[in-house]
Chains A and B, each alone.
Chain A
Amino acid sequence: MSFHPHDVRRRAIAAAVLVLLPLILLGAAFFRTQVIEHEQFALQSETNRLRPIPLPAPRGIIYDRHGRVIAESVPGYSVSIIAKNEDSLRVTLEQLSNSIELTQRQIDATVRRYRAMPSRPALVFSDAEFDMVSVLEELRTDFPGLVVQSAPKRYYPDGAAVSAFVGYTAEIDERELTRPEFADYTAGQQVGRDGLERSYESLLRGREGTRFVEVDARNRIVRERGARTELPAESPPPLHTNIDLDLQRHVVTLMDTLQGGIVALDPNTGGVIALHSAPGFNPNRFIGGVSFQYYDSLNTDPRKPLYNKALKGRYEPASTYKLATAAMGLELGLVQPETRMPVACNGGISYGGRYWRCWKRDGHGNVDLRGAIAGSCNVYFYQLGRQIGLRRLLAGGVDLHMHERSGIDLPGENPGIFPETIDYYNETFGPRGWTEGSVAMNLSIGQGENAQTVTNMARFYTALATDGHAATPSIVKQDVPNRVKVLNLTPEQMASLRLAMLDVVSSRGTAGSAQVQGIQIAGKTGTAQNPHGPNHAWFVGFAPVEDPRLVVAVMIEYGQSGSAAARVASSIFERYFRAPTAPIPVTENLE
C-alpha cells in the first residue's frame, strides 16, 4: 500500500474536504429549516399542541320595561371530548356510556358534530346536570381528552308565562348550518329558536371566546390553562322590551283555565305590553334539548300549546270588525254618527230571498250608528255594508292591512285572510256562484272570507285609539315607532266612534258586565261562529277612552260570547291602570 508521507498528506487533505463538505451541507439544511422556515414550523408546533376550546358566550339578557328579567343566562356545564379521529371518539363515548347515561342517539349526534368540525372538541352535552358533572370529574384521569367546562345556559324565570313571545334556544341543526345567514355558526353552537330569541338572534348572540389547552401526541390534555392567552367570551348588551312582566303574569293568570290569545299594545308606539297564547309551555324545558316525553305531551294536547294563538291563530273577527265597516261608512260620507238605516232592526232583515237574522231576536229597533255599535246590531251593518258595496268594503279592508301581517317583531306570524279583489269570489265560487249583496252583508259584520290574528286586530284598534294611525306592534323598544295613517276621519268622527265603543262597555252595550269603576273602557265584543264547537269570543278595546294608553285584544277559543272576553280585558285594564303595587321605576341601564 502506498503510505508514502506525500500520498498520505494528499489523501488527508482530500479526506478533510470530504468530511467537512457534508457537515457544511447539513449546517445549511438546518439553517434553512430553523431560520428561514422557522415561522412555518413554529406554527405547526403550536397547532400540534394547542387545542382551541370554544368558550360559549352568554346570550344577551332580555328585560321587561321595568328592568325585570325575562331571559337570562345562568351557569351550566357543557361536556365535550377532544379526539384524534372518529374511531377513537366512538371508543371513548362507548366507554363513557358505562359510567354515565349516554344513549346511542347522543353518541351519534356527538360524532356528527365532530365530523362537522373536527378541529373543535366534540360536544357531548351542551347542558349537563351537576350530578353528571361530578361523576365526570372523577373519571377525568381515565378520559384524558374530556373537557368539562362551565357554559352559560338560557333561563326564563317566568317560564310558561313568557312562552308566547320569548322563544327558546337550541343547538343549531345541520339544515340551518347550510343557510347563508348562519355562515359564521358551527355545529354545537346555540341558536335562537322562535320568538325574540330568533328574531333578535344577531343582537342576543354573544361573541364566542377561545381558551387553549395543551395536549400531548395522543390528544390527552396536559395543561388546562395558561398555554396561550385566552380570548374571553363577550356577551352582548341587553335587550329592552316593552313587556310589562307584571301585566303579563296577570294575563297568564286570567287565561289559566282558558285557551286563546291576548295582545296588549301601547296604541301610540305599538309597544307590546303583554302577549300570551294560552295554554303556554315551559321554554326552560327546551334548553339543552327537549325531552321526547315533554314534546310529545305538548303535541298531543288538544289545546295545542305549541300553536301560538296570538300570532298564528286566525279567527273570524266577527262584530269587532264592525268598527272597520263603520269607519268606512264615515270616511265615504255615507253615514254620520246620527244616521239611521232605512229598515229598523226587529230581529232580522230580508234580502235576496233570505231572512238575515240579527243576533238579538227582539231587535234593536231604529238605532243610529252609535247605537248600532253599542248594541252590535247586525241589521244596521247589513244595510251599511250594502251601501258601501263589496268593492269598497274590500278596498277598505286592504287599506286596514287585513290581508297582511301586523309586522310584529316575532317570527311565524300568519297574515290575515282577506280577499283583495272580487276576483277572489269569481275564482272560488264561479262567476255565478255568489252575489255581491250577500258577500257584502257578511263582510260588513266581520264574517265570510275574513280571518284575523289577535295581533292584527290589536293593531287595527291602535288606529281607533289614536288619531287614525295604526302602530306596528313591537316587543322590543324601538327608537321611532312605526305608525301608518289608516283611518282618514275627522277628530269628531273618531270621537263618535270611541263614544260608541264606550257605550259597548256600559249598561247600554254588549259588554256591560265588563265595566270597571273609574276606568272608561271602550271596545267591541265579537262572537265568531265556530262550526267545530262553541263560538269563539272576541273583545278588542282600549282605555281610558279620553286618552287611550292601552289597547287589549282578547280572543278566547270556545268562549261562547264576547262579553266573556270583555271581562278578561277589563281585568287587564284594571290591573294595568290600578296596579296593586306601585310599578317598579324604569331602570334604563340595567346591565
Chain B
Amino acid sequence: MEDTQSRIAFETLPEGECAVALGIWTAAHLAVPEHWAALQSALAQAATRGAAVGWDLRRLQRLDHSGAQVLWNAWGRHWPQRLELLDVQRAMLERIARFSVPPPRPERSSPLDAMETLGDWVLSMGGHVAGLVRLLGQLVIDLLKLVRHPVKGPWRDVSGHLYHIGATALPITALVGFLIGVVLAYLMSQQLRQFGADAFIVNILGISLIRELGPVLAAILIAGRSGSAITAQIGVMRVTEELDAMRVMGIPKGYRLVMPRVIAMAIAMPLIAVWTTIAALFGGMLAADLAMGLTPAYFVTALPKAVELSNLWLAVSKSVVFGVLIALIGCHYGLRVQPNTESLGQGTTASVVTSITIVILVDALFAVVFKSVGI
C-alpha cells in the first residue's frame, strides 16, 4: 500500500543514522494539519541529532518548492554532510539555497511616526479644503463663462444628469418620505392625545417636515445615491485615463464635468426636497386620519395656517445649497482618485461620509442663522 503522507523515517545504515523523506512533499499535502504536526516533531527530532544524521530524498514521490523550503529551513539553511538525492531535487534545493534571504523589514514604528501621521492628517485636511476652494473658484469662473455664452453651454450633459440625479430618484425618496411621515404621525398622536392637543399634529408635522426633515432626508438620500455615483463616475474616468484624454484634447474638466453636475444637482435637489416633503405630509395625513380620526380635509385646510410660507422658501434655498455641496464634494473626491481600484473605493466611501456630514452641519448652521424666520 502506498502512503502519500509527507513524513520522515529514521533508518540506521552502515555509515550512520539516516533520515529518509517519504510521501508527497507538496504545499497541499504538507498543509494537512495532522501530517504537519507529525512532520514538525520528526524534523525537530532530526535537528537535535545535528550533523550526525544523513538525509535521503530519493524515495520521495514528489517534492515541490514549499517542501524543499521546509527541508532547507530544517537543515538550518546549509547543506547536510551526508545527502542522497535526485538531480531534479538538487536543482530545486540549489534554487532555494540561492534565493533564501530574509525579506526586507517593514519600517519600525516610532513615537515620531504618530506625530508624522497627525501632521499628514492635518495637511491632508488642508489639502481637501484647498481643493474644495479651488473647485468652487473654478465653478464660479465656469458659471461666468456660461452666462456670457449660454448657447455653447453643456446643456445635454446637464439634462442627462438632471434625469439621473432627479427623475430616477423620485420613487425611493417618495417611499422613504412617506414612511417617515407615517412613523412621525403615529408617535406624535400618542403623545398629543395625553394632552388633548390632537389638532396640533398639523403644526408639528408641518413645521418639522417642511422646514427640516424633508430637505435633510432628501439631501441624505441623494448624497448616498448620486454623490457616490458622481465620485465613482469621475474616479473611473481617472482609472481608465479618460480624464487625461480630455485634458489632451483641451476640454476643460471643470466646465464639462463639474459644472453640469453642480447645475443639475442645484436644480434637482430642491425639487426632490419638495417631493419628499409632500410624500411625508401625505403619509402623516393618512396616519393622523387612522390614528386620531383627523380628516384629510381638516389637515389640508389647517396646514397653510400652521406653517408660514417663509418656511418653504427656507427649505428650498437650503436644498439648493445642499445640492451644490453634494455635487462639489462628489467631484472633489472623484478628481482625487488615484489610478487604482482601491483608491476608487476609498474615494467613494469618503465622498458619501463627507457629504452627509456636511449636509447635517450646514443644516444646523441654517437652523441657528434663520431661527427667527417662519416660526
User: Do A and B originate from a single complex?
Assistant: no
B: residues with CB less than 8 A from A are none
A: residues with CB less than 8 A from B are none
